[in-house]
Structure 1
Amino acid sequence: MTYDQIAWLPLCAGLTAVGIVLSFLAFRRRGATAGLRATAWSLLPLAAYLTGAHRTLWDIGSAAVRFVTGLVLSPVVWAGVVLAGLSAVLFVVSGAMRGRALSRARGAGTPGKTEPRQVERPATAGPATAGSIGSGKSGTGQSEPAKSGAAKSAPPSDDFSDIEEILKRRGIS
């Protein structure tokens, strides 16, 4: 059947009328949301006819049918599909081989494993502060044990040492 053999106005108007009836039923059974959505879908065939979009939709549909029937019945097209599949497999295999070659070049035995870096900290040998050597008494007259962390609180050697210290105290390293 060709495009010119179809009476498009009665077909589109009929589809819209059937859709409106089904929309009314959907409205009564499922509520206003379902009814409005069904009405919106129902108006599309008549809108396509009035705007002239039905000819374009016909062309798209017939081209899709020709493509699918040509795909199913043509051995040349199947050979192209097989070659496209082989190409995809080769891409995946070459990517895996490239990943292994890169991990060997880095010196790691398995891909993804790297040795953790050791961060060196400078020795904290410097003059003690007055609070750590003092008499051990606070302003209230009670003795206070010397804090072991007071001697370790040297000025940071780099910008991230404070963050690293907080992470270590929380058990995250």
Structure 2
Amino acid sequence: MPDFNDLTLLPFCVGLTLLGLIASWAAWRRRGLAAGTRGVAWSLLPVSLYLTGLLELLWDVVRSASSWITHLIFSPTVWAGVALFGVSVVLYVVSGVAKGRRSPEKPARTKPAAAPGELTSTGPAPASASAPAAKPAKAPKGAKASQQESSEFDEIEDILKRHGIN
């Protein structure tokens, strides 16, 4: 890409600003003060970018970006990298599917339950971590306590269902 110097940029910016000011005057006459003022604001940008040195910076950024994009599109090395990235994504997905389809002969390893109160890496084991206790004997159906508990649970269940929580 060509490299512009100060002698090329200054007349270009002044010309853009003059064209913009002429168009702003025409917009002010046809559409009013707001359109004309907005046009003047846009018209002053090329000269302000030149005077602050930002125009050269902007030109360098555009030139570097276009060079990078050209290298990206036409480089076989880059396309090999893209292909390897695709292969790695496919392998990762396949490993997730294979992990989900474990054979029934080999069950997943489980950690032995810690005794209640025994220290583990996450702290003391809860009492629920021990072997399940025998089921408590149910009270007779006519017992007052069991009726009270079941009616309370029924009420709670109804409230949860009304709120859409199951």
TM-score by length of 2: 0.53
Indicate the residue corresponding to 1:14 in structure 2.
15
RMSD of Structure 2 on Structure 1 (CA): 4.1
The number of residues matched between the two structures is 128
Provide the C-alpha distance between the structure 1 equivalents of 2:6 and 2:164, rounded to a whole number of angstroms: 79
Provide the C-alpha distance between the structure 2 equivalents of 1:171 and 1:65, rounded to a whole number of angstroms: 56
Determine helix, strand or coil for the equivalent of 1:3: coil
**Residues 102-122 of structure 1 deviation map (CA, whole Å, 9 limit, x = unaligned):** 322497xxxxxxxxxxxxxxx
Query: Identity percentage over the alignment?
Result: 36
Q: Which amino acid letter does the alignment assign opposite residue 43 of structure 1?
A: L
1:89 is aligned to 2:86? yes
Counterparts of 1:22-171 in structure 2, within 5 Å, are 22-25=23-26, 28=30, 32=34, 37-68=38-69, 77=75, 79-105=76-102, 126-127=143-144, 152-154=150-152, 162=156, 164-169=157-162
- Relative to structure 1, the CA distance from residue 106 to residue 152 in structure 2 (aligned partners, 3 Å threshold; closer, same or farther) is farther
- Relative to structure 1, the CA distance from residue 97 to residue 25 in structure 2 (aligned partners, 3 Å threshold; closer, same or farther) is farther
Unaligned runs of 5+ in 2: 105-137
Indicate the residue corresponding to 2:130 in structure 1.
none
Indicate the residue corresponding to 1:115 in structure 2.
none
Deviation at 1:82, TM superposition (A): 1.7
Unaligned runs of 5+ in 1: 108-122, 129-148
Q: Which amino acid letter does the alignment assign opposite residue 167 of structure 1?
A: L
TM-score by length of 1: 0.51
- Relative to structure 1, the CA distance from residue 44 to residue 101 in structure 2 (aligned partners, 3 Å threshold; closer, same or farther) is same
